[in-house]
Amino acid sequence: MTLSSPNPKVTSSNTWNFEYPQTSHSLSCMTKRSSKYSRLRSWKLQYCLRRTLRAAANDYFSLLINLSIHALKLNIAAARPESFPPSPPFSLEMLEDILREKPLEADGIDSVVVVDNVPQVGPERLEKLKNVIHKIFSKFGKITTEFYPDADGLTKGYVCCSHSGPRGVKNADGYKLDKQHTFRVNLFTDFDKYMTISDEWETPEKQPFKDFGNMRHWIEDPDCRDHYSVIYESGERTAIFSNDAKEPIVAEERARWTETYVRWSPKGTYLATFHQRGIALWGGEKFKQIQRFSHQGVSLIDFSPCERYAVTFSPLMDTKEDPQAIIIWDILTGQKKRGFHCESSAHWPIFKWSHDGKFFARMTPDTLSIYETPFGRFDKNRHVCIYRDFSWSPGDNIIAFWVPEDKDIPARVTLMQLPSRLEIRVRNLFNVVDCKLHWQRNGDYLCVKVDRTPKGTQGVVTNFEIFRMREKQVPVDVVEMKEGIIAFAWEPNGSKFAVLHGEPPRISVSFYDVKNNGKIALMKMYDKQQANSIFWSPQGQFLVLAGLRSMNGALTFVDTSDCTMMNIAEHYMASDVEWDPTGRYVVTSVSWWSHKVDNAYWLWTFQGRLLQKNNKDRFCQLLWRPRPTTLLGVEEIKVIKKDLKKYSKIFEQKDRLSQSKASKELVDKRRTMMEEYHSYRETTQQMYQEQKSARLELRGGVDTDELDSNVDDWEEETIEFFINEEIIPIGDL
């Protein structure tokens, strides 16, 4: 097959004309024509203008450069008197900037597609076929060139064409021309790619099993101490502590362990550290490195709840062909599972996982995509409507999402079960401004906070729509709130919820309970609260109301069983509150990231008794290590609760023992310190006495060792003290 190349005439600023030589090109050349020609032309023009030399086609390029150099040398030589020092040797570097722009043969090949399953026709019907093809493809994209290879008078049944924009034409894949002919459209570059793949199956090499020891070592602590990670010295040092009521015990401490911050995996098995080149996971007894994910510039991480997959985000390195803004990794093998495009990480996590890690979903303004694990099978669920927010139930494979109003169609909150895709509940809402989805941690309840602007009223009204998930047909009850909502939080394992409402500085807190009959009862309301956040104990019942940052760190410890305030305290300028996973302790902290002085974390009991003040230089972040879910069944927990009295006796004794031990240790420590100090002072005093004669000599024989050692020289002085001033009016004279 031969193509006739055009012979463009390019005119340079001088009057020389030049021609392209006739060349015989293969298929790829055809594709170059359109885009490449214009580029080539402009480049050539530039070249000619700059050097005012005759240029020629690609093939003679090297020769030309030599010529041009020669000519330039001559020019330079001619323009200069002999007395000048010899010119430096002319190098190719001077032409490099132009050479760099020289087009390559493979440029533009990306826009070629091969269309298979095109009817085979003779030359007489070729024109007709061309028309048909043109017509079909005009729907998908613009075809700039086409080529119908033929043999024995018939076309070969496939067409090569180039087009503008690779995406559109590729969509013609699967187009049915008629019963026999269904188009298969493939990128030309794909042929190349798949040709090079070997036909023979190579069995992957079996990786040796690496034993990292007991990954849940910290759970076996005889005193049930929980771990927490602390970053301090503005990120220079990271430490893992074992929490103890007396003082923290260092489990591990390293300098520059992470470059930004750390994250625990949801069950506490791994500690993720961030580095410029990617993520490292640490675990086991000695915090050895378990896994590495290479992701340049990584800034965020999220784990699947089952700890099988990790999702990382990097703002760098995203290309059209190879999506890697978000990468999903297999934690066990360390393999990259899939990359995704992502424009913004504003709403992290972008991918939300179902509670068992079976599904994960992502929302774009007009699609909700649900994926299924293990990978390889993707169930993409496209609904063409505008999605605003979605959330997985933390207890079941149910996804909740809401869609705003669209003209006459009301806003909708939908609960959909997976994998059946059964919509178990749809609730229509009117005049909706915004919705927020709040799941109770077990997935027993869903609260949808609905901000509405009802007709005929001014301002925004907030309703809580409470979905009772465990009952038939999911009944919904509504709680109307008259004031602005500052915070809402469910009791993690109960049926209560707490709401902060009002306008600062008049803030109130209300506690509600969802009764078995579905009635939502207001248990208690306190006004004049200094709080902007609610932190429930992970075991429920207790909570901390905190006025973080701008509210100076006011803290209120509440027992919601009878709604009493157990303690009111303050950690000035506190920025964070973190409950330990057992609900026994709570930590408040002032992070260096938000406030530059007094960086510290304080440990409180759940009742609000301050146990420790840990000042750490430029303290940044404290995170409790999560615990895996308990292995005990409901019955076993019941038995333990029943025998609590028996256990508490043992624990109390243990506490007493350790307490007396602690105070004894302290006294012992002080005693040794005092002994050391005194022995030091004795040696110095001894030396001091030895130097007495030298001192006397220096001060002319006056003994000044004691304040009153030279009383004889003292002078008496009378000093008046101003004690009181009394002005007595003498009265009328």
Partner 1 sequence: MKPILLQGHERSITQIKYNREGDLLFSVAKDTVTNVWYSVNGERLGTYNGHTGAVWCVDCDWDTKNVLTGSADNSCRLWDCQTGKQLALFNTNSAVRTCGFDFSGNIIMFSTDKQMGYQCFLNFFDLRDPQQIEDNQPYQTIPCTDHKITSAVWGPLGEFVNAGHENGEINQFSAKSGEILNKAKEHTKHINDMQTSVDLTMFVTASKDNTAKLFDSTSLNHIKTFKTERPVNSAAISPIMDHVVMGGGQEAMEVTTTSTRIGKFEARFFHAAYEEEFGRVKGHFGPINCVAFHPDGKSYSSGGEDGYVRIHHFDPHYFDFELEA
When asked if residue 615 is in the footprint of partner 1 (CB under 8 A), the reply is: yes
- Please identify, using beta-carbon distances, which residue of 572 and 647 lies nearer to partner 1: 572
Whole-number Å distance between alpha carbons of 124 and 153: 10
Binding mask 522-561 for partner 1 (x = CB under 8 A): ----------------------------------------
Q: Regarding beta strands 142-147 and 309-313, do their DSSP bridges make them parallel or antiparallel, or are they unpaired? A: unpaired
- Please identify, using beta-carbon distances, which residue of 480 and 720 lies nearer to partner 1: 720
Nearest distance from C-beta of residue 706 to partner 1, angstroms: 10
When asked if residue 670 is in the footprint of partner 1 (CB under 8 A), the reply is: yes
Whole-number Å distance between alpha carbons of 31 and 144: 9
Nearest distance from C-beta of residue 720 to partner 1, angstroms: 8
- Please identify, using beta-carbon distances, which residue of 230 and 416 lies nearer to partner 1: 230
Given candidates 49, 61, 680, 709, which one binds partner 1 under the rule CB under 8 A? 680
Contact between 371 and 424 (Cβ < 8 Å): no
Whole-number Å distance between alpha carbons of 211 and 492: 36
Distance from first CA to last CA of the chain, Å, rounded?
137
Kindly state the helix (H) or strand (E) to which residue 314 belongs, with its residue range.
none
Binding span for partner 1 by CB under 8 A among 135-143, 150-158, 174-182, 720-728 = 720-728
When asked if residue 78 is in the footprint of partner 1 (CB under 8 A), the reply is: no
Whole-number Å distance between alpha carbons of 398 and 419: 9
Per-residue buried b or exposed e for 201-236, using 16+ beta carbons within 10 Å of the residue's own CB: eeeeeeeeeeeeeebeebeeeeeebbbbbbbbbebe
Nearest distance from C-beta of residue 598 to partner 1, angstroms: 6
Q: Binding to partner 1 (CB under 8 A): which residues in 650-669?
A: 667
- Please identify, using beta-carbon distances, which residue of 16 and 688 lies nearer to partner 1: 688
- Please identify, using beta-carbon distances, which residue of 246 and 695 lies nearer to partner 1: 695
When asked if residue 255 is in the footprint of partner 1 (CB under 8 A), the reply is: no
Instruction: Classify the C-alpha dihedral 106-110-116-121 as positive or negative.
Output: negative
Given candidates 92, 409, 662, 674, which one binds partner 1 under the rule CB under 8 A? 674
When asked if residue 597 is in the footprint of partner 1 (CB under 8 A), the reply is: yes
Whole-number Å distance between alpha carbons of 693 and 477: 95
Contact between 230 and 241 (Cβ < 8 Å): yes
Nearest distance from C-beta of residue 688 to partner 1, angstroms: 5
When asked if residue 721 is in the footprint of partner 1 (CB under 8 A), the reply is: yes
- Please identify, using beta-carbon distances, which residue of 521 and 666 lies nearer to partner 1: 666
Nearest distance from C-beta of residue 605 to partner 1, angstroms: 24
Whole-number Å distance between alpha carbons of 502 and 507: 5
The beta-carbon contacts of 4-10 under 8 Å, at least 24 apart in sequence, are: 5/29, 6/33, 6/37, 8/37, 8/41, 10/41, 10/44, 10/45, 10/48
3-state class (DSSP) for residue 449: strand
Asked, as a colleague might, if the bond just before 505 is cis with ω within 30 of 0, I would say: yes
When asked if residue 707 is in the footprint of partner 1 (CB under 8 A), the reply is: yes
Given candidates 380, 506, 649, 671, which one binds partner 1 under the rule CB under 8 A? 671
Q: How many C-alpha atoms does 126 have within 13 Å on its Cβ side?
A: 16
- Please identify, using beta-carbon distances, which residue of 346 and 719 lies nearer to partner 1: 719
Nearest distance from C-beta of residue 593 to partner 1, angstroms: 17
Given candidates 378, 527, 702, 709, which one binds partner 1 under the rule CB under 8 A? 702
| Cα-based distances in Å from 417 to 114, 118, 193, 469, 587 | 42, 44, 40, 12, 38
When asked if residue 720 is in the footprint of partner 1 (CB under 8 A), the reply is: yes
- Please identify, using beta-carbon distances, which residue of 415 and 573 lies nearer to partner 1: 573
Kindly state the DSSP code that residue 550 receives in the 8-state scheme.
G
When asked if residue 296 is in the footprint of partner 1 (CB under 8 A), the reply is: no
Given candidates 60, 375, 430, 677, which one binds partner 1 under the rule CB under 8 A? 677
When asked if residue 151 is in the footprint of partner 1 (CB under 8 A), the reply is: no
Contact between 421 and 381 (Cβ < 8 Å): yes
CA-closest candidate to residue 240, choices 214, 201, 273, 207: 273
- Please identify, using beta-carbon distances, which residue of 375 and 680 lies nearer to partner 1: 680
Given candidates 15, 346, 678, 725, which one binds partner 1 under the rule CB under 8 A? 678
Given candidates 649, 695, 703, 709, which one binds partner 1 under the rule CB under 8 A? 695
CA-closest candidate to residue 269, choices 239, 246, 297, 291: 291
Nearest distance from C-beta of residue 726 to partner 1, angstroms: 19
Binding span for partner 1 by CB under 8 A among 92-100, 507-515, 592-600, 622-630 = 592-600
Count interface residues toward partner 1 (CB under 8 A): 33
Q: Which residues bind partner 1 (CB under 8 A)?
A: 572-573, 597-598, 600, 615, 617, 667, 670-671, 673-674, 676-678, 680, 684-685, 687-688, 691, 694-695, 698-699, 702, 704-705, 707, 719-722
